[in-house]
């Protein structure tokens, strides 16, 4: 189980959310509160949009709490849209190329969860990735494979349908291979403008997902501060502070879209 | 706070103690039980004696639970005397050269604890290291500095006296600089034949220290197995399994010597 | 292009060949003499046989010339059979899991060369790996994929036939995909007893391969010393010293077997 | 011997100078042309000024040519003043904390060269660092020590005098310790507004130093393009392209100041 965070809105310094709140994402790398295991120390990643269409990507195998480079980048870089992820491996090795987010063209993708029976279904799933996308696969995680399926299933045209198709494709292969373990995912993808997130699982036990919204977002002391009005959204695995008014839980079986600070959550039942 | 383990006796594969017991040292890197904080993920190190006088040294900045190289070395290498350490930094950066054990000639040293007010006393302590030793200092930790003081204070001739002198030297400097924070240490040193360990603190709150002894040591299931007779000793921060009969706690203010499986524990009150 | 070395014979400390000769493998990581580019700084690996059937494996992404751990391991570990490799990437990322040698059960494999048009043929080649082997694939290199094909093509039963089959399988896929670039390889594999090496290419321009043989092997000054008699073999990309009498070049299109210090070289023309 | 580059002027994407020219700094990490040894693969670093006074810092131990993170940061980050450095160690270990540039407050410092007899003079030089600065020293290089001396010798008030004092301080200690080896340096420091660089050595053989100036700087093909007018300056170890008109060599024994695109070079003879 991993922890992740996506932000979209007015440009802010990334450390505002990554380092400063009491339950910041970096704090979650050491002491996650709503995860089965507290430690997410098997690498981390940061993807952000800036002056060019292609997002920046910084991933490393150190625990996030330990990386002076990450702290400096988070202090320096202001971005209107960024993804950050701290990893707890479910098997595949700790390596930069297995760290989230994954990038393809202008897209970023990150994930918390697991495709059950991955060792059984992996080869068939990889066969299903379009050849022109497959050449970019670098690692061995289920998450990266899911992303390339998603891209091939029309992510650019209709993200919700692409997610539904990909979930069906994966669960079909799992069934064909006789996998009994569940498929659980809480994933996010963006093209640099809209953030889409999915909370779904085959057994009704997907990892948690929350969002918070408001005007200009800052961090005061150890609490996140949401300005009046709207325009800024945080989508994330678990709240950054203890003020329940700041965070709305996204229910199991949901598809979330955040664009220009407007969040919609609709039921997501691909099967 | 860190966790460490020293073994001396019949040659054994290092994974017998590092990976296999239920509360193995590697397990402690993720979930230490008797430490103020459970995670010791800021690097690790392994020092061992083999065919040559100079011990081997393997240190890295990955968390120990994450390092496939460490697992392979621990499986392969059989050694009659080895030190292993998982680090939780008290400040100095995560870097190989700040990882324990430290090596000089045929000596290895490792430490769990902290010289209070390190930033205040560091320069004066480093001035006190003998010039011919100082050139080998690579990092910025209090532990490495203590080791070079210890070497200069006659470690080769009389280890207990060298520890006492060094503790006095450090506490003198702390007092001169007006440091109020305590000096706490649970340290081990070896020349490849004898293991010495100290549990001491200026405020009576030093980190825990245990030892276990017996004949040929193995691991059965998740429990350590001590054969009849003697000859083998484990000195360590916290027990490797839950059988209280296996482990004796070393009291605060003690100096331990283990040689050829015989352990002596004497009071250590340098001031 | 990479550089590699395989040793079989009386147990020797690995630094005898890795660090001490004037053109040692570690020297070749910085200044290879017979390679198109001199620098092999994109990671390295070491595999060796010791007390247990499964070989040890130590791989890292630092340049080999830079890694204090590698130096210490090479000094400490004596082995009757070891593989060492310094990498110059032909594309796939620098990551431990893309470093050679690759290990499966009691086997080690390493490679210098390139399957032409890898991005074109990769997915089809990966499809051809047996499912029960595919789950162990961690990286994205052509070399690791070739190894899993080789294992599935009967490496355990008949290594030469397995190599021939695998080369045909790869070249068939290359032709089907319309790849014009050549397939060049200088590879080695071992089960812990025999070392097999192949020098072959589709265009007659495979990387160099040499071997040296004699009794007890040591290093005197910066020259390799071969004792009288036999029993010890080095198979490698380029000579470790400048004494031409020490090294025999293996011609293009050859299959080499070294066992108990006896070396046979036979023509290898899989197509 | 290392290679470095400093830029000041209109904000540009850092890859314009780090990756794109034919003899870009990253190219120099693999094939430096004017250095005694071509490979600068012992880590690298990047420091830059952005939205806050404190500069950003990204350093790692991978060779610069190998680091996907560095490429992404260089593409994304536009900065009006940045320092970049590729390291070839003269002894001290490869570790992030031994990589240049070094940072203190709003200052960055980087260096190519060596204080002769460093092992002999180190302890005395470190004693000479002001206590309130010494606590920030993390590594063991002569370069980092020089920087802390420089800060203590009035860098903020009068950079040229601070350099002269520090050079005298170092050479005094070298003489007192009987060091015969030379002290050679080509160093740069900045407060975020002005860049100062020194080329000096005790034996008249300091590493090369160049500068290039013009209006808006870009990269066209593999050549650097200097726009008409002025305002932009590159100070660096060796030219980025082969157009001799682009680069002026700074003579031995010089102090360079670049501010707002105006470069002055004056003799520097501290003794």
Contacts of A88 in chain B (CB under 8 A): none
Asked if residue C40 lies in contact with residue D42, where contact means CB atoms within 8 angstroms, the answer is no
Task: Please answer yes or no on whether C41 and D41 come within 8 Å at the CB atom.
Answer: yes
Average pLDDT, chain B: 95
H and E: helices and strands count for chain B:
7, 13
Answer whether residue A251 shows pLDDT above 90: yes
- Predicted local confidence at residue B261, as pLDDT: 83
Asked if residue C33 lies in contact with residue C24, where contact means CB atoms within 8 angstroms, the answer is no
Mean pLDDT of B25-47: 91
Asked if residue B199 lies in contact with residue B186, where contact means CB atoms within 8 angstroms, the answer is yes
Q: Please state, in angstroms and rounded to a whole number, the distance separating the CA atoms of residues A140 and B98.
A: 32
Asked if residue B135 lies in contact with residue B151, where contact means CB atoms within 8 angstroms, the answer is no
pLDDT digits (tens, 9 = 90+) for B111-130: 999 999 999 999 999 999 99
Candidates B76, B104, B106, partner chain C, best to mutate (most C CBs within 10 A): B76
Q: Which residue has the tokens 């509160």?
A: A33
Query: What is the DSSP track for B156-176?
Result: TT-HHHHHHHHHHHHHHHHHH
Q: Which of C56, C59, C69 sits opposite B76 (nearest CB)?
A: C56
Q: How many CB atoms within 10 Å of residue A168?
A: 13
Q: Please state, in angstroms and rounded to a whole number, the distance separating the CA atoms of residues A182 and A117.
A: 8
- Predicted local confidence at residue B200, as pLDDT: 98
Mean pLDDT of B235-255: 97
Answer whether residue C38 shows pLDDT above 90: no
| Residue C63 pLDDT grade (very low, low, confident, very high; cuts 50, 70, 90) | very high
Q: According to the 3-state scheme, what is the secondary structure of chain D? A: CCEEEEEEEEEEECHHHHCCCCCCHHHHHHHCCCCCCCCCCCCEEEEECCCCCCCEEEEECCCHHHCHHHHHHHHHCEEEEEEEEECCCCCCCCCHHHCCCEEECCEEEEEEEEECCHHHHHHHHHHCCCHHHHCCCCCCCHHHHHHHHHHHCCCCCCHHHHHHHHHHHHHHHHHHCCCCCCEEEEEEEECCCCEEEEEEECCCCCCCCEEEEEEEEEEECCEEEEEEEEEEEEEECCCCCCCHHHCEECCCCEEEEEECCEEEEEECCCC
Task: Please answer yes or no on whether D129 and B122 come within 8 Å at the CB atom.
Answer: no
Q: Please state, in angstroms and rounded to a whole number, the distance separating the CA atoms of residues C110 and C195.
A: 11
**Number of domains, chain A:** 1
Candidates A66, A69, A138, partner chain D, best to mutate (most D CBs within 10 A): A69
Asked if residue D83 lies in contact with residue D14, where contact means CB atoms within 8 angstroms, the answer is no
Q: Which of C39, C66, C94 sits opposite D42 (nearest CB)?
A: C66
- Predicted local confidence at residue B76, as pLDDT: 98
Candidates B94, B124, B125, B131, partner chain D, best to mutate (most D CBs within 10 A): B131
Q: Which of D50, D57, D72 sits opposite A58 (nearest CB)?
A: D72
**Higher model confidence: residue A184 or residue D1?**
A184
Judged by phi (left if over 0) then psi (alpha if -120 to 50, else beta), residue D110 lies in beta
Cis status of the peptide bond prior to A211, with omega within 30 of 0: no
**A–D: how many Cβ contacts below 8 A?**
54
In chain A, the percentage of residues whose pLDDT exceeds 90 is 91
pLDDT digits (tens, 9 = 90+) for A69-108: 999 999 999 999 999 999 998 888 899 999 999 999 999 9
pLDDT digits (tens, 9 = 90+) for C66-116: 899 999 999 999 999 999 999 998 888 899 999 999 999 999 999 999 999
Asked if residue C78 lies in contact with residue C12, where contact means CB atoms within 8 angstroms, the answer is yes
Tokens of C198: 């192949």
Cα torsion D208, D212, D217, D222: sign: negative
Query: What DSSP character marks residue B123?
Result: H
Residue B108 host element (H or E): strand B107-115
Mean pLDDT of A12-30: 95
pLDDT digits (tens, 9 = 90+) for A94-152: 999 999 999 999 999 999 999 999 999 999 999 999 999 999 999 999 999 999 999 99
Q: Please state, in angstroms and rounded to a whole number, the distance separating the CA atoms of residues B78 and B14.
A: 6
ipTM of the complex: 0.94
Q: Please state, in angstroms and rounded to a whole number, the distance separating the CA atoms of residues B187 and B236.
A: 10
Query: From the CA of D148, how many Å to the nearest CA of chain A?
Result: 20
- Predicted local confidence at residue B270, as pLDDT: 93
Q: Please state, in angstroms and rounded to a whole number, the distance separating the CA atoms of residues C99 and A180.
A: 34
Average pLDDT, chain A: 95
Residue B234 host element (H or E): strand B223-236
Tell me the pTM.
0.96
Query: What is the DSSP track for B199-224?
Result: EEETTS-PPP-EEEEEEEEEEETTEE
Residue B16 host element (H or E): helix B15-18
Task: Please answer yes or no on whether D94 and C66 come within 8 Å at the CB atom.
Answer: yes
pLDDT tens for each residue of chain D, 271 residues long = 799 999 999 999 999 999 999 999 999 999 888 888 889 999 999 999 998 999 999 999 999 998 999 999 999 999 999 999 999 988 888 999 999 999 999 999 999 999 999 999 999 999 999 999 999 999 999 999 999 999 999 999 999 999 999 999 999 999 999 999 999 999 999 999 999 999 999 999 999 999 999 999 999 999 999 999 889 999 999 999 999 999 999 999 999 999 988 999 999 999 7
In chain C, the percentage of residues whose pLDDT exceeds 70 is 100
Answer whether residue C1 shows pLDDT above 80: no
Q: Which residue has the tokens 């990490």?
A: D29
CATH number of the domain to which A169 belongs: 3.60.20.10
Residues of C at the A interface, defined by Cβ within 8 angstroms: 92-93, 95-97, 119-120, 122-123, 126-127, 129, 131, 134-135, 137-140
Tokens of B63: 């968390």
Answer whether residue C199 shows pLDDT above 90: yes
| Residue B27 pLDDT grade (very low, low, confident, very high; cuts 50, 70, 90) | very high
- Predicted local confidence at residue C31, as pLDDT: 87
Answer whether residue A31 shows pLDDT above 90: no
Contacts of B139 in chain D (CB under 8 A): 139-140
Q: Lowest mean pLDDT: which of A195-209, B173-187, D36-50?
A: D36-50
Mean pLDDT of C241-247: 95
What distances in angstroms separate CA D198 from CA A95, D28, D174, D185, one per listed residue? 40, 21, 19, 7
Tell me the residue range of the domain where A84 lies.
Answer: 3-267
């Amino acid at each position: 189980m991993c922890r992740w965070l996506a932000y979209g809105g007015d440009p802010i310094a990334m450390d505002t959310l990554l380092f400063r709140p009491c339950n910041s994402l970096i704090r979650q790398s050491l002491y996650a509160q709503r995860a089965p295991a507290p430690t997410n120390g098997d690498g981390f990643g940061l993807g952000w949009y800036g002056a060019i269409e292609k997002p920046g990507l910084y991933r490393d195998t150190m625990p996030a709490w330990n990386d002076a480079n990450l702290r400096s980048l988070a202090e320096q870089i202001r971005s209107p849209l960024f993804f950050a992820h701290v990893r707890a491996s479910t098997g595949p090795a700790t390596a930069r190329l297995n760290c989230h987010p994954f990038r393809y063209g202008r897209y970023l993708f990150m994930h918390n969860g697991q495709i059950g029976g991955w060792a059984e279904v992996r080869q068939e799933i990889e066969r299903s990735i379009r050849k022109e996308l497959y050449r970019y696969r670098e690692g061995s995680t289920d998450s990266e494979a899911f992303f390339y399926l998603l891209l091939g299933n029309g992510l650019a045209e209709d993200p919700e349908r692409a997610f539904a198709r990909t979930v069906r494709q994966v669960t079909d292969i799992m069934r064909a291979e006789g996998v009994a373990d569940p498929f659980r995912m809480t994933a996010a993808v963006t093209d640099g403008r809209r953030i889409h997130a999915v909370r779904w699982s085959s057994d009704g036990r997907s990892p948690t997902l929350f969002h918070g919204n408001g005007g200009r977002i800052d961090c005061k002391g150890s609490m996140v501060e949401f300005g009046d009005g709207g325009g800024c959204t945080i989508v994330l695995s678990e709240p950054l502070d203890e003020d329940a008014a700041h965070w709305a839980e996204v229910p199991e079986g949901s598809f979330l879209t955040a664009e220009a600070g407007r969040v919609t959550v609709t039921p997501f039942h691909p099967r």
